[in-house]
Structure 1
């Protein structure tokens, strides 16, 4: 099955067939550029039966401007946003290539890449050389199950990007990346199991770091964002017939994550991010003590409790509410 870049050439050829036995080079150039962020590769133009003299003439007249060796920008588009940099690097590597590693992650996750770093591309063509600004990784395995297209750019799947990029990603950043992707559903444990099987035997520090990051997430559970944790808490209350608390209630100089105001029962959810720093940890402990002195019953839960122990969380909230109702009236 031809790769995306080759299929694009075939689409253009069908859209601009020969007329009276002759091709229309200008039309084919325009149609190709329209589908590729105003970028074209010499090898694509040659597959479209556009001769070298015609290509060289376009270069001389600056209708085409060189981006990489054999990769050109069509006149009028000289800006260099992230997507054009990424696609230009893939075009340089040629057919059977895809954006990968940390750049692939950035494309999948809508992140802004560091423009000062080389673009990572993976290819099945081992003869492809390097180029300033592009890091080409040769791979013997780059099947359809590891490839996709995002915004017109061939890219390895998010799972493959994360796995391959583990070698050049700090462990803390890798844990956060995996956690966030699992939390929002961009990745599943099944995806991660599958890529680990397909990449089994790969050497280097990447596989070990990937396995270590997964083990930490398995131990602590996927950590939720603040909004996700709040929604999960409300869902637990609904599922178990508990009244919904007031979210982010301010009382006695502090903001309480969730509060039953009349009964002065508060809920704090530890760790909205993947790790709390030491200063935040100390500050939260002081907050709990201060609220307890002010007459609040405080229930601290870890985010993982909301995910794995919903029934137990509901039981503890229900018990605290019953105790508060049975106690003497308190000032609200």
Structure 2
């Protein structure tokens, strides 16, 4: 078994492998066997590395690999989806192949290979260092992602950024300097509606679809007292209709618990809420992908109005 040389991030670089006598053919064979994952030209990671256990982890390593290989380090800073990956800032539908940089010039942006280079000013407060890599700050990253996407993507990233401690006023000020940028109106609307109480990408995406459809705004993360103990709901309307996004995925399995046991626990939890006279409606990620949430929720909200009349 070949022992590949790795750097502080667990990356295997071609020049380091060659120095210890490992040939390109040996590396290529390891890639074919699935022992190595290619991140960028001349850079790999071992497939059983814990940092590469999921697509998000692989993309984070790809960003680090490409950032360490650029020739104009000091002039280009990881930004957009790539900075989000290093911050651990979750975003909706991340693009995991291209590595994004922002370059401090007035022109010269390009997309080539793994790199998407944006251009524009970066203030000193817009830049920070994460794990030894220069990246845009949390607030600047959220604004960049928001203005490059639609309302749903913007609301998700602002929710997550607020949860991580980003300053709303700072992000608002950044948006104010981009008055003519594409996507600015949607980003401003998203920041106005952003809420740090949202606990996941799915919950934020759910709320974005509700807002876009003009549905009544729900209360977030309210705790109800039931016979099964305290239950915190993702969403509720008037304390009578509860909305839950994909509860099994949200809460996960407890130690030693099987999926069937988790389903039974969730069913007991819902039964306890219903025993309080509360209506409970649940939806999944797939329903959000298929844009089915609004039609799924509307009859319940109409029923809520009828029972209040």
- So what's the TM-score if we normalise by structure 1? 0.48
C-alpha separation in 1, matches of 2:118 and 2:12: 22
CA–CA distance in structure 1, aligned partners of residues 172 and 220 of structure 2: 29
Name the CA shift for 1:75/1:141 in 2 (closer, same or farther; >3 Å): closer
Check if 1:73 corresponds to 2:43.
Answer: yes
Q: Distance in 1 between matches of 2:14 and 2:123?
A: 21
Question: Structure 1 pair 213/67, CA: closer, same or farther in 2 (3 Å)?
Answer: closer
Q: What are the superposed Cα offsets for residues 189-230 of structure 1, whole Å, 9 maximum, x if unpaired?
A: 133134336xx1574214333223223x17xx666458x967
Report if the CA contact (8 A) 1:256-1:266 is conserved: no
Q: Does the CA-based 8 Å contact 2:102-2:119 persist in structure 1?
A: yes
Which runs of no fewer than 5 residues in structure 2 stay unpaired? 29-37, 53-57, 204-217, 234-241, 243-268
Shift, 1:168, TM fit? 2.6
Offset at residue 39 of structure 1 (A)? 5.7
Aligned-residue Cα RMSD (Å) equals 5.2
Q: Secondary structure at the match of 1:122?
A: strand
CA distance 1:166–1:83, change in 2 (3 Å): same
Give 1:322's aligned residue.
Answer: none
> Does 2:95 match 1:95?
no
Q: 1:36 to 1:172 in 2, by over 3 A?
A: same
Q: Does 1:278 align with 2:295?
A: yes
1:35 to 8, 13, 26: 8
TM-score normalized by structure 2? 0.51
Q: 129, 132, 141: which is aligned to 2:113?
A: 132
SS of aligned partner of 2:153: helix
Alpha-carbon spacing, 1:152–1:132, altered in 2? closer, same or farther (3 Å): same
- Measured at CA, do residues 83 and 59 of structure 1 come closer, stay the same or move farther in structure 2, by a change above 3 Å? farther
Superposed, 1:18-167 pairs within 5 Å as 34-38=7-11, 61-62=23-24, 72-73=42-43, 81-93=58-70, 94-96=72-74, 97-107=76-86, 108-109=88-89, 113-115=94-96, 117-124=97-104, 130-143=111-124, 145-167=125-147
Deviation at 1:72, TM superposition (A): 4.0
Provide the rounded CA distance (Å) in 2 between the counterparts of 1:270 and 1:60.
54
The separation in 2 between residues aligned to 1:75 and 1:231, in whole angstroms, is: 40
* Residue ranges of structure 1 left out of the alignment (5+ in a row): 1-29, 46-54, 238-243, 293-297, 300-332
Q: Which has the larger radius of gyration?
A: 1
